[in-house]
Amino acid sequence: MLSRMQSLTLRKALSASYPWTTHPLIIGAPMRVFSGPESATAITLSGGIGFIGPGLQPSSTASDLQTAKSLLSSSSSPSTHTAGELEKDEGALPVGVAFQLWNGNLESATEAVAEYRPVAAWLFAPRNGQTETDEWARALRGASSGIKIWLQVGTVQEAVEAARSDTPPDVLVIQGAEAGGHGRAEDGVGVLTLLPEVADRLAGMGKNNIPLVAAGGIIDGRGVVAALGVGAAGAAMGTRFLAAKEARISKGYQDEVVRAGDGAVNTVRTHLYNHLRGTFGWPEQWSPRTIVNKSWEEHKSGVSFDELKKRHDEALKRGSSAWGPDGRTATYAGAGIGLVKTVKGAGEIVEEVRGDAVAIIQSLQGLAS
């Protein structure tokens, strides 16, 4: 079992790599398209670590990093003095960037990383397992010597293989089945079960020097405290930042994230919405969690895919009404949607969640007396 002292050491080690951050560490998960440079920099400016998600095209990464650099250069936020010093003294950009490996472009990725030097690269979804992940890790480290490799996994076995690799990650993101992003379709479990088992297995292997970040279903300070309690060095949030003012998201989609509740009933893991959007090729072991609507209901009742696709495409022409219970298009979100009630600035979300987590930790201290 990972001891309390070991957990504390890993938290300090993670924070040391990102000297502008504040405890408890909040990370903005790199949701494809939605997590752009505006939200990533706002999270960093509030003492967290903001990640830019994969864009529509491989070239989007360089463009988004350029925007992030401009935003950080023009910021006067006193909380990011250290982040500014990092960029000035070391040439590193204090945001992270993510790459979806199964359909990623390694050449484009290495060029962007070499030019802008983000502090971290979050890797996910290799088609060929750890071999492909290692190839990307070596290439990105070669392009920017200071970059830290974050690898997202969803099972104990994935974590073990990564730790045994000749090119192990600097951070393991342990994603539970509650997450809205593509995750384990059939063999995923909740993060509060998965993360401590991963920690124990790695400790038994003598590989307990890799910080673990919890992801999946973390929406507020309560979730952050729970993640810290099972050994996480930080907490990544995705769905909560869908309701950030800076998110690159349509109003109809964002309204639905705020409206929906009871994620156990009203969300489902399926590739259906990928296919309705024209996205094919995702490895079957990973599927996204989506708020259910008419497309899912009619799919279950036996309506053909061709007819569903026709109705989906017609709905898209109607703007915001394409989302919602009577809508038809993809609304990827985690099982914690019932806890998302308001749209706020990404930085405000970080500060609110961190403040609530600190208050809970302080209130619990009296239980030990």
The DSSP result for 298-355, as a single string, is HHHTT--HHHHHHHHHHHHTTGGGGSSTT--S--B--TTGGG----B-HHHHHHHHHH
Residue 330 lies in a domain: no
User: In terms of residue numbers, what domain contains 266?
Assistant: 251-322
Give the dihedral of Cα atoms 251, 72, 148, 52; nearest 10 deg: 20
Which pLDDT tens digit goes with each residue over 268-324?
999 999 999 999 999 888 999 999 999 999 999 999 999 999 999 999 999 999 999
In a domain, 283, yes or no: yes
Query: What is the spatial distance between Cα 180 and Cα 266, in angstroms, rounded to a whole number?
Result: 12
**How much is the pLDDT for 78?**
43
Q: What distance in Å separates the CA atoms of residue 133 and residue 162, rounded to the nearest whole number?
A: 9
Nearest in space to 258 (alpha carbons), one of 353, 178, 346, 337: 337
State yes or no: pLDDT of 89 exceeds 60: no
- pLDDT band for position 367 (cuts 50, 70, 90): confident
Same structural domain, 193 and 290: no
Give the CATH number for residue 16. Answer: 3.20.20.70
Least confident stretch, 168-172, 207-211, 268-272: 207-211
Angle of helix 60-74 relative to helix 106-116, nearest 10 degrees, comes to 20
Total domains in the chain come to: 2
CB 340 within 8 A of CB 240: yes
Please state, in angstroms and rounded to a whole number, the distance separating the CA atoms of residues 25 and 139: 28
Instruction: Note whether residue 334 is domain-resident.
Output: no
| Residue 332 resides in a domain | no
- pLDDT of residue 257 exceeding 80: yes
| Whether residue 172 sits in one domain with residue 115 | yes
Same domain, 118 and 140: yes
Q: 262 and 168 in one domain?
A: no
Q: How high is the pLDDT of residue 75? A: 75
153 and 273: one domain?
A: no
What residue type is assigned to position 14 of the chain? L
CB 312 within 8 Å of CB 207? no
Q: Which helix H or strand E contains 235, and what residues bound it? A: strand 234-237
The pLDDT of residue 221 is above 50: yes
pLDDT grade, residue 3 (50/70/90)? low
Same domain, 149 and 258: no
Domain check: are 173 and 296 in the same one? no
